[in-house]
Structure 1
Amino acid sequence: MTDVRPAVEGASGTEADVLTTLFHSEHGGHEQVVLCQDRPTGLRAVIAIHSTALGPALGGTRFFAYPDAADPERAALADALKLARGMTYKNALAGLEHGGGKAVIIGDPEKLKTDELLLAYGRFVASLGGRYVTACDVGTYVQDMDVIARVNRWTTGRSPSSGGAGDSSVLTSYGVFQAMLASAEHRFGSPELVGRAVGVAGVGKVGHLLVDQLVEAGARVVVTDVNPEAVRRVLAAHPSVTAVDTVDELLTDPTLDIYAPCALGGVLNDRTVPLLRAGIVCGAANNQLAHPGVEKDLAERGVLYAPDYVVNSGGVIQVADELNGFEFARAKAKAAGIRSTAREIFQRAEADGVPPVVAADRIAEARIAQARGTDRPFA
């Protein structure tokens, strides 16, 4: 499950806070930010394009109310800015010819979402002429993308009946598994997972599919989830898997080799990192590091951290393939490259004496810089 909290702390501050981020912060530099409104349908949305150096900006549409924010509109804008920047790096490391973008529709989807609103939003996406390609995110689903695609062709994450690939969890989990093989190879000298103990926190769609692959590979798997039914489904499918009640039980388990967070973000923080006993962290959750500096804490504890935006990029690889007429085999072959990318990141981190997150950023930035200025048609 994707982290649903606002990505930027203090998003309810002054208007200058967001403008400073946009124009002056090292985390800014966005090419374009579009504020969208359609009063008849209640649509209020932000589309943030961080970079098109590698090609059209690709990233999902989040539909969220920001109920804990003093100023939901500003929280949405701040979230879109950070998420768009993250997509630039994710797409670059995934080897895609896409830059980074993200959109946020403000409001409770259970109360506000209608076909009319989605069509109004789709027309705003269409007005960008291909600079931004959308997909699913928190609060939006395959059927929503089918509606949006009725008014613009720059929509991915559609159902197979509408020419799309459908649920992206299959290739997301496959990519996580590939990154885990690279992590094991770097840490233990062999990619073999036979007999290795892996703790999976969160066994929804992606986590469950990951467990399937781990069991097939001969790993010893321990799981936990806040949803008891999700755990029951895993245990019914795999009698060899065991379960614990809390994430803390996984963190403190001295027998675990690999910890795989596959639920909410922010799980690696000042409280949890000291508890961690596994030598590798490699999971599907977004935004796993609660704040800058956590990556250094992990490195100082000797924990190999596989950057989440590399590990979980199988999903974006899948939706990007839709633009060429989706072929599962082609997309899977592309997702298999996550293993070699992770290997390259670990080697670069070791050579440069930096955490893997820093090495990953450097590799992505080099690719973006090399592409900048290249003519890339969007339409």
Structure 2
Amino acid sequence: MAVFNQVEFDNHEQVVFCSDKESGLKAIIAVHSTKLGPAVGGCRMWDYAKDEDAVYDVLRLSKGMTYKNAVARLPFGGGKSVIIGNAKEIKSEQLFRAFGRQLERLNGSYYSAEDVNITCADVALMNKETNYVLGLEGKSGNPSPFTAYGTFLGIKAALQHQRGHQDFSGIKVAVQGLGAVAYGLCQHLADAGAKLFVTDINQVAIDRVVNDFGATAVGIDDIYDLDVDVYAPCALGATINDDTIPRIRATIIAGCANNQLAQSRHGEIIREKGILYAPDYVINAGGIINVYYETAPEGYTVEASNKHVEGIFNTLTEIFSRSEKDQKSTHLIADELAQEIIQNGL
């Protein structure tokens, strides 16, 4: 299995393969950079078809966290971890404590937190073996509401840049994926007057949003074809690709999913099509910003966290303006901004 020659490897400082026979743990921890501080990024549990898929995922997510933390002006480097397996079948206290012991062995170079299929309760089990975890109940807690708020502000910034206003009245938004963050986003959008079109693989999640916010449910594959103003990808990544781009009618793409572009070239394709794209790791940074305030010297407060999250609006406004000026896709401008911050410091 190739690691070093993968494009996503990108000079990772450390990639650790972890196993524990008693608990059945199989995990990978990737530390991309510690230049700005300890690597911080959540742990994802997924039933990968093959080990190579897990390696690819953890490497790209880890690098993404380096850029996300830098652009969010956080004193964190970038890292990520994945636990391989079906979350409905293999979760146990023994497994998460075993993973916590693996984190402890890294001696603070990487801090983990919740991510896909990992809850605050799971992180609390890791915490029985290590202090190198963040996002605990009673401290910063669930980051989802902050990610949702930041994503909503990012859509506002896109509206302001493209249309010169922040009024959601009559704005149609297609939301793909209805997890905890997307539910919070739908609430913000509905409260602001947006018309919602939603889809998910989970019918219960669809019914909840339809009932709570008057959303219109559509088929999984129909979400791309809708005549809407905003397409908000909020499920897993790579939904902006060769197959979907010709179908997307929205003029703004802004959602909370990670790694929305299947390939970097797709960012330029949608720019040339006249679509304004809010780079994923910029718009969805609210959760990691909230987690940071758990470590702040002055202690955690919701007020301080929200104030920092509100900076996402200004950061995206800067990226949109630079993209227009340089005639370069927004995701490349975001990468340049991240690299400038990493090079020059916060």
TM-score range, shorter chain: over 0.9
Answer whether contact 1:63 1:138 (CA < 8 A) is retained.
yes
Q: Amino acid of the residue matched to residue 338 of structure 2? A: A
Q: Amino acid of the residue matched to residue 4 of structure 2? A: L
Q: Does 1:220 align with 2:195?
A: yes
Distance (whole Å) between structure 1 residues aligned to residue 175 and residue 54 of structure 2: 30
Q: Amino acid of the residue matched to residue 59 of structure 1? A: G
Partner of 1:297: 269
Q: Amino acid of the residue matched to residue 31 of structure 2? A: I
Q: Does 1:156 align with 2:134?
A: yes
5+ long unaligned stretches in structure 2: none
Could you list the per-position Cα deviations for residues 131-189 of structure 1 after superposition, in whole angstroms to 9, with x for gaps in the alignment? Answer: 111001223211111111122212112222xxx33322111110001101110011001
User: Helix, strand or coil: the match of 1:33?
Assistant: strand
Partner of 1:20: 5
- How many pairs are equivalent? 344
5 Å-filtered alignment, 1:265-280, equals 265-280=237-252
Q: Does 1:205 align with 2:154?
A: no
Distance (whole Å) between structure 1 residues aligned to residue 196 and residue 24 of structure 2: 46
5 Å-filtered alignment, 1:111-150, equals 111-150=89-128
Distance (whole Å) between structure 2 residues aligned to residue 215 and residue 53 of structure 1: 40
Alignment RMSD, CA only? Answer: 1.9
Q: Does 1:332 align with 2:306?
A: yes
Give the deviation of 1:248 after TM superposition.
4.6
5+ long unaligned stretches in structure 1: 1-14, 373-379
Q: Does 1:370 align with 2:341?
A: no
Answer whether contact 2:256 2:280 (CA < 8 A) is retained.
yes
5 Å-filtered alignment, 1:149-298, equals 149-160=127-138, 164-238=139-213, 241-254=214-227, 256-298=228-270
Distance (whole Å) between structure 2 residues aligned to residue 59 and residue 303 of structure 1: 29
Worse-superposed segment, 211-220 or 292-301:
211-220
Identity among equivalent positions (%) equals 40
Give the deviation of 1:247 after TM superposition.
4.6
Give the deviation of 1:57 after TM superposition.
0.3
Partner of 2:322: 348
Give the deviation of 1:27 after TM superposition.
4.7
Q: Go from structure 1 to structure 2 and tell me whether the alpha carbon gap of 1:258 and 1:46 turns closer, same or farther (over 3 Å shift).
A: same
Q: Does 1:61 align with 2:47?
A: no
Answer whether contact 1:244 1:250 (CA < 8 A) is retained.
no
Q: Amino acid of the residue matched to residue 321 of structure 1? A: Y
Give the deviation of 1:361 after TM superposition.
0.2
Match of 1:52 among 23, 34, 59: 34
Match of 1:38 among 20, 24, 49: 20
User: Helix, strand or coil: the match of 1:18?
Assistant: coil
Partner of 2:280: 308
Q: Does 1:105 align with 2:70?
A: no
Partner of 1:76: 54
Distance (whole Å) between structure 1 residues aligned to residue 223 and residue 17 of structure 2: 43
Distance (whole Å) between structure 2 residues aligned to residue 225 and residue 148 of structure 1: 30
Q: Amino acid of the residue matched to residue 39 of structure 1? A: K
Worse-superposed segment, 292-301 or 35-44:
35-44
Distance (whole Å) between structure 1 residues aligned to residue 200 and residue 46 of structure 2: 23
User: Helix, strand or coil: the match of 1:221?
Assistant: strand
Q: Amino acid of the residue matched to residue 111 of structure 2? A: V
Could you list the per-position Cα deviations for residues 220-248 of structure 1 after superposition, in whole angstroms to 9, with x for gaps in the alignment? Answer: 2222333232222223223xx34142255
Give the deviation of 1:126 after TM superposition.
1.7
Distance (whole Å) between structure 2 residues aligned to residue 77 and residue 109 of structure 1: 18
Match of 2:294 among 299, 322, 346: 322
Answer whether contact 2:151 2:256 (CA < 8 A) is retained.
yes
